[in-house]
Amino acid sequence: MNIKLKHYLLSFLLLLFVAQVSFGFGRSTNTEQANSTAQLEAESIFRTKPFLQNPIGGGITISWFTKVPTHGWVEFGTDKDLGTKAETRIAGQVVANVKQHQVRIEGLLPGQSYYYRVCSREVLVYGAYKKEFGEVAYSEVYEFTLPDTKSADFTAIIFNDLHQKRETLQQLMTQLEGVNYDFVIYNGDCIDDPSSEDQALSFLSYSNEQVKAEEKPVFYIRGNHEIRGAYSVELNQLFDYVGGKTYGAFNWGDTRFVLLDCGEDKPDSHPVYYGLNSFEQLRNDQLDFLRDETKSKAFKKAAKRVLIHHIPLYGMDEKYYLPCAELWGETLNKGRFAVAINGHTHSYAYHEAGSLGNNYPVMIGGGYSANNATVMILEKVDQSLHLKTIGYDGTVLGDYHF
């Protein structure tokens, strides 16, 4: 080979190598840079992960918060290609220029798995005649499954009285390793005495991430401590309650859940409330609800019925203010509940049916410290309802079948 030809050949090989670097390795680097940029955009826009609520009636609510005002929507579908868009409209307007986002998706199939992601486009200017937008942030793609009307089986996990103690929730979650749960219930006094949105949202976001609320729906029941504090009224805006109220009922499979709101643990007239409480009326409203609910077709047809509220009706000293027992007791005792699940006392207890004038068994969860915190696992398999209470250290405190 002559020198001139050899020189041309070496030059060609060098150009080929440069092309491979530019269009081969360079493409990977560009992809990594794009992914990194997208991650930074998401971190600068999203304040929380999405969390699922109210998976009832062929629909589900997806909520999230952003750090800046945005226009938010959800992309979803039965596979990871998504393909369908949902956004919230109020009286003809698409909800935009807000930091709190809540999108309800209707018309979903029971038992069907869906994939989704939340999207938020930053709003830079929202004038009467001019609007400007920034970048769009996309969450990861998540998956959820609606309750299957053809299946009677489910597993739920239930917490109470966490009082924003992160280490307690984290420890209790270690006792649930290997438990494949379908949904989560927070049974009161978990976001206690909320003083601000920052405080409330900080623990709400943390607790939701702990239970993977981006894929497992959560039901929030109000305890007496959620009612106290400067942000207590606005706290309700974070939740999409079943039926739009702090009490209600729903089916998961062939089990009927009835959720009640006991209100405060002292009379409305107590001076510490400064005349700003009216829970006597709320309890009377719930008596009307219970009378209608226990006569309903959904309640009567249910294979099992589970009653959940924060303050127990039974097992508390008579010195305490217990209006719910007197007001609701007779109606609930006629309801043929499999079990009632409560909290509030910070002390685990189990009361057999009939032991305290109760026509159904009562299980009361513990508190928030290492010596009394608990988590409950409620499992339905075929026609059997199984309720287990586990302590902070993993000790099984109660294990019953109904």
- Select the more confidently predicted residue: 264 or 20: 264
Q: Which residue range(s) make up the domain with 290?
A: 154-401
387 & 285 share domain: yes
Contact between residue 227 and residue 189 where contact means Cβ atoms under 8 Å apart: no
- Select the more confidently predicted residue: 151 or 332: 332
Alpha-carbon distance of 95 to 72, in angstroms, equals 8
| Residue 23 clears pLDDT 70, i.e. is over it | no
- Report pLDDT for 149: 87
| Residue 123 clears pLDDT 70, i.e. is over it | yes
Burial of 41 from C-beta contacts in 10 A (0-12 / 13-18 / 19+): middle
| Residue 5 clears pLDDT 70, i.e. is over it | no
| Chain centre to alpha carbon of residue 22 | 48
- Select the more confidently predicted residue: 5 or 93: 93
Alpha-carbon distance of 241 to 238, in angstroms, equals 9
Distances from the Cα of 338 to the Cαs of 159, 250, 313, 343, 355, in angstroms? 19, 15, 15, 17, 15
| Confidence band, pLDDT 50/70/90 cuts, at residue 24 | very low
In-domain check, residue 3:
no
* pLDDT above 70: percentage of residues in the chain: 90
- Report pLDDT for 1: 54
In-domain check, residue 82:
yes
Alpha-carbon distance of 71 to 94, in angstroms, equals 8
Q: Which residue has the tokens 């499999």?
A: 338
- Report pLDDT for 377: 99
What are the tens digits of pLDDT across the range 191-211? 999 999 999 999 999 999 999
CATH number for the domain spanning 197: value is 3.60.21.10
- Report pLDDT for 150: 85
H or E segment and range at residue 287: helix 279-295
User: Looking at residues 322-334, what average pLDDT do you find?
Assistant: 97
| Residue 184 clears pLDDT 80, i.e. is over it | yes
How many structural domains does the chain have?
A: 2
275 & 137 share domain: no
133 & 209 share domain: no
- Report pLDDT for 16: 47
173 & 91 share domain: no
Q: Could you please report the per-residue DSSP string of 220-247?
A: EE--GGGG-STTHHHHGGG---GGGSSS
What are the tens digits of pLDDT across the range 149-180? 888 999 999 999 999 999 999 999 999 999 99
Whole-number average pLDDT of the chain: 93
User: Looking at residues 3-7, what average pLDDT do you find?
Assistant: 51
- Report pLDDT for 20: 45
Alpha-carbon distance of 162 to 169, in angstroms, equals 7
Give the end of a domain, one of 90, 121, 145. Answer: 145
In-domain check, residue 15:
no
Contact between residue 72 and residue 118 where contact means Cβ atoms under 8 Å apart: yes
In-domain check, residue 326:
yes
In-domain check, residue 388:
yes
- 235 CB-near residues (< 8 Å, 6+ apart): 191, 194, 200, 226
CATH number for the domain spanning 78: value is 2.60.40
Alpha-carbon distance of 204 to 164, in angstroms, equals 9
User: Looking at residues 129-141, what average pLDDT do you find?
Assistant: 98
Low-confidence winner among 23-27, 36-40, 221-225, 310-314 (lowest mean pLDDT): 23-27
103 & 159 share domain: no
259 & 111 share domain: no
Low-confidence winner among 21-30, 219-228, 291-300 (lowest mean pLDDT): 21-30
135 & 249 share domain: no
140 & 191 share domain: no
- Report pLDDT for 22: 41
Contact between residue 189 and residue 343 where contact means Cβ atoms under 8 Å apart: yes
Alpha-carbon distance of 348 to 399, in angstroms, equals 12
* pLDDT above 90: percentage of residues in the chain: 88
- Select the more confidently predicted residue: 35 or 54: 54
| Confidence band, pLDDT 50/70/90 cuts, at residue 318 | confident
- Report pLDDT for 271: 97
- 285 CB-near residues (< 8 Å, 6+ apart): none
What are the tens digits of pLDDT across the range 52-104? 999 999 999 999 999 999 999 999 999 999 999 999 999 999 999 999 999 99
Predicted TM-score (pTM) of this structure: 0.90
| Residue 351 clears pLDDT 60, i.e. is over it | yes
- 191 CB-near residues (< 8 Å, 6+ apart): 164, 200, 203, 204, 226, 235
